[in-house]
Amino acid sequence: MTIAATGLSAMRAGRTILYPTDVEIRPGERVGLVGASGSGKSTLGHALVDKLRAQGAHVAHVPQSPDEALDPLRSMAFHWREAERARTLAPDPARQQTLFNALHIEDGDLRKRPWGWSRGMQQRFVIAMALIGTPDLLVMDEPTSALDPVVAAGTIDLLDAHLADRDTALLLITHDLGLAARRVHRLMVMDDGKIVEDSPIKRLLMAPMTPAAKALCAHRNWLELPC
Amino acid sequence: MLDVDQVSVRYSSTVTLRDVSLSLAPSRTLAVVGESGAGKSTLINAILGLVPCPTGHVTWDAKPVRKCRPALVMQEPRSAFNPRMSLRRSVKEPLRGRQLDEDRLARLCSGLEIAPDLLDRRPAEVSIGQAQRVGILRALIAAPPLVLFDEPLSALDAVTQKHTARLIAQMQREEGFAALIVTHDLGYAAAFAEEIAVLRAGRIEELTPARAFVDAPQTAYGRTLRDAAFALGAFERVA
């Protein structure tokens, strides 16, 4: 079933930060949402998650930093149980093992609190929690920016492999077109609270139409910057 | 010329830098890359004299490095400033009471694309990109021969990162300072440094010209870093 939300908008301090926006994502589709800092990407991500949940869809959200998702005073086992309870699922050690294996955190000690795990492992744990019960849509907001490149690349590769044969759609929110270009089928470009361009990744990279998309394309690759 | 000679640093029982040696000439750029905990920030602290180096020496033109008054550009632009002071007052601090050369300030502001009235604001009243450009201005105001950059772009978005990197390179051409850049972004290192030093567990694992590093790192760990940067889209083509 295609995921669709219409009329998403947001205001803050009397100013419109997200103009009315419609989003449609097909099952299993990988969509990138890119734009500069302050363009409204995360606001759209939150509005989309709220609206879809209100419509009864199963949507998981992975924030930029694991600190936003994990309580430093609670054990990792507590977080896992809470995530299962949120989906009204009974504890299932086999499901837990499958997800932990997929994200290479099977050696993590669940009795420890988040700070007993490395940040890379914490972020993978948050992603594993998000994948409990196979969501219709996984929204990831800058999932790699708090991580080292080696850990970040490994995490994204593991997630790619896990999602490969599933119907879970992915919305990847990032300021980095270089990252999105390698991971998504379709790209939405945001500028000043509006989606200004929405097209398949190849077409967007070949022929960006708007100034925001042109700027992102021109600054995509460190070794080929415009003069 | 910066000369780091066999420097080791220990925090309690943990050795964070082991026999690190490197040199850096004026107008040249060296990027130090590596994972968290590799000792990148400790290297900066050791060069600035902020941590004691029980063994080894850090010198600039054969004198203790602090005599050349090196400057530092920090990672988090806004928190690098006193929030209660105007940016202009913060920018003047490295002059230590000496008269501000208004012509130099105007020239640097124009090179760094800082509007003159921006300096009258406080850190919270400017964007992160603007704050980082002012951070670079503050580092350069006293004309230091050596500038250390600790992850100068990681708080910025992708387009602003590349724009700021270009401004830094342009200022370096005009001012001639030596730049030591600590970063985890291999794309930035490859595009703007002449040499890349790979730091791992406190040791320099390899020291390679930047473009050669992208094509063929000398060590297995160097290849791991290069491949991760490629997987994250920092560059498009790799040999």
State the pLDDT at residue A171.
Answer: 96
Neighbours of A71 (CB within 10 A): 12
Cβ within 8 Å, pair B158-A152? no
Q: At what angle do helices A149-163 and B220-231 cross, to 10 degrees?
A: 60
Question: What residues of chain A lie within 8 A of the CB of B196, using their CB?
Answer: none
pLDDT, residue B10, reads: 85
Whether A149 sits inside 8 A of B229 (CB atoms) is yes
CB contact under 8 A, A148 and B191: no
Query: What was the pLDDT predicted at A227?
Result: 57
Res B239: pLDDT: 44
Residues in chain A within 8 Å Cβ distance of B186: 149
Taking alpha carbons only, the member of B155, B50, B142 closest to residue B99 is B142
pLDDT for residue A172 is more than 60 = yes
Instruction: Locate the DSSP E strands across B173-214.
Output: 178-182, 195-200, 203-209
d(CA B31, CA A151): 20
pTM here is: 0.87
Could you give phi then psi for residue B7, rounded to 5 degrees?
-85, 130
Average pLDDT over residues A27-34: 94
- Cα separation, B211 vs A220, whole angstroms: 18
The domain spans of chain A are: 3-222
pLDDT per position in chain B (239 positions), as tens?
999 999 999 887 777 899 999 999 999 999 999 988 888 889 999 999 998 888 899 999 999 998 999 999 998 888 899 999 999 999 999 998 888 889 999 999 999 999 989 999 999 999 889 999 999 999 999 999 999 999 999 888 888 899 999 999 999 999 999 999 999 899 999 999 999 999 999 999 999 999 899 999 999 999 999 999 988 888 765 44
Which CATH number describes the domain made up of A3-222? 3.40.50.300
The pLDDT of residue A148 is 82
Residue A115 DSSP label? G
- Closest approach of chain A CAs to the CA of B128, in angstroms? 9
**Mean per-residue pLDDT, A154-161:** 88
Give the number of residues written for chain B: 239
Q: Measured between CB atoms, does B162 come within 8 Å of chain A? A: yes
Q: Containing H/E element for A15? A: strand A15-25
